[in-house]
Structure 1
Amino acid sequence: MPDHANWLVGVLPQHAEVTRLERLGPSLVRVERKAAPPAIIGVISTDPVRMDDCEELLGGSPRPDFILNIPKSAKWLGDVIDTLEAQGLSWGKMYDLYRALNFENDVSDYRNPGLSFIERLFQQHRNVDHLERVSDQVYRLHRGKGEPVVVALTDAYEVTADAVRSAYGLLAPFDVLLKNTPYGRISTQGSAAAAELGIEICDQSSIFTRLRNDGAGDH
């Protein structure tokens, strides 16, 4: 079994709030902090993250408060996210773990702020009955009027043709590519690439109109 705990013990002392690390096993680390209770971190390294990848950590003792997946670009499948959150655990990559250790008294309460914002945006739309997490980067939005709309997220500052094609290659099938940052822009070339692929690009403003209306790309 890969020793992911050893890797985390090697990098986490850089965190300003961490005072002591204890390796509890090949995939489990106890983290002591300056001003907050200790946290148990489970560590995996896979892409995408499936339920099977977490079962050993969930079935062991002690159970982790947070499950860290090392590859920063890896996808978390929706059923994994739903299960972990239903069981009161948090999850994410190193960015998320650093934030959780900084800002959460109980690390298991942490939720990625960017995804929480996007999910709240979807849930507050009058025509969205409920959202289904396909992954942490793709949502299927079930609507009161109209067919479901599958929305993929991009963090690209400028949504270029390359950004569109890269997102499509990683996340397709989807109907809409959502630029989930208010900064930057959607380029003319990006819009043209999206049209060639049969998808749409929206920003956080235009997605509201898109979710009200039926579109040719709906699944």
Structure 2
Amino acid sequence: MNWQVRYALANIAKTAGRTKAEFVTGNLIRLSTEDQPDVLALISSDELIDEAVAKQYVNEFPDLDFICGYRTTCVWVGGAIEYLEARRVGWGNFGTLLSAALEGNANTASHKMYRFSSRILRQHRSVERTERKFDRIHRVFLKDGRTVTIGMVSEYEPTADAIRSLWEQFGPLDFVWNINPNGRPSFDALDAGRELGCEVLKWEELRERLSNA
């Protein structure tokens, strides 16, 4: 049994309440919640889940309901997200898996950290379409002809290092969106964004940028 599976089972036993879990094989577990469908979940220790990795898991386990990126540093590539969603396989972190098991929607669940923000971005009246490059990076095509790249950071008070790290890992950005509803970027983060050539914003500010040329 892999380390991530042992940790997942132990955490579910301690914290999940109505949800119980059992080891199946390899890195697969089954979650059972009263009055909800069982969830066959793959617990991955990958740092990066791209389309090739996602296809490998689905081909190996055709009955898979959910892939869990157990590491907090796990990054999901847009192609993997598109592939899994087309096949009704949920994806996200450990917290997403537990919520999905309780709510009975594991096959359609997506990473809870980015789910709401990604949805309101797609639904904004100025947006023609979005292209998801990574779980936290969107290429946004606006109805006025502009195209912008938006990165999401979830920290309560993003620091300059958080902004620089996002840029270094994922490439140039037009906007960095602090998606934590209760936080605000630090002054150092704002300065770091200006040095890199991007703006660090909350949703109210980003919404105005998307609406106005």
| Same fold (TM > 0.5) | yes
| Count of aligned positions | 212
> Deviation above 6 Å: which 4+ runs of structure 1?
none
Q: Distance in 2 between matches of 1:85 and 1:198?
A: 33
Distance change (3 Å), C-alpha of 1:70 and 1:120: closer
CA RMSD of aligned residues (A): 2.2
Q: Which runs of 5+ in 2 are unaligned?
A: none
Are 1:44 and 1:53, in contact at CA under 8 Å, matched by a contact in 2?
Answer: no
Q: Alpha-carbon deviations, 1:177-205, whole Å to 9, x = none? A: 00112322233322211111111111100
Q: State the match for 1:169 in structure 2.
A: 168
Range with bigger deviation, 125-134 or 163-172: 163-172
Within a 5 Å distance, the mapping from 1:1-219 to structure 2 comes to 4-14=4-14, 15-21=16-22, 23-102=23-102, 104-214=103-213
Range with bigger deviation, 201-210 or 1-10: 1-10
Q: For residue 189 of structure 1, what is the amino acid of its counterpart? A: D
Q: For residue 46 of structure 1, what is the amino acid of its counterpart? A: D
Q: Which runs of 5+ in 1 are unaligned?
A: 215-219
Quote the offset at 1:155 in angstroms. 0.9
Q: Distance in 2 between matches of 1:113 and 1:4?
A: 20
Quote the offset at 1:68 in angstroms. 0.8
* TM-score after normalising by structure 2: 0.88
Q: For residue 57 of structure 1, what is the amino acid of its counterpart? A: Y
Aligned sequence identity (%) = 25
* TM-score after normalising by structure 1: 0.86
Q: Alpha-carbon deviations, 1:113-140, whole Å to 9, x = none? A: 4423212321232221101100111000
Quote the offset at 1:172 in angstroms. 2.3
Q: Distance in 2 between matches of 1:141 and 1:11?
A: 37
Quote the offset at 1:150 in angstroms. 0.3
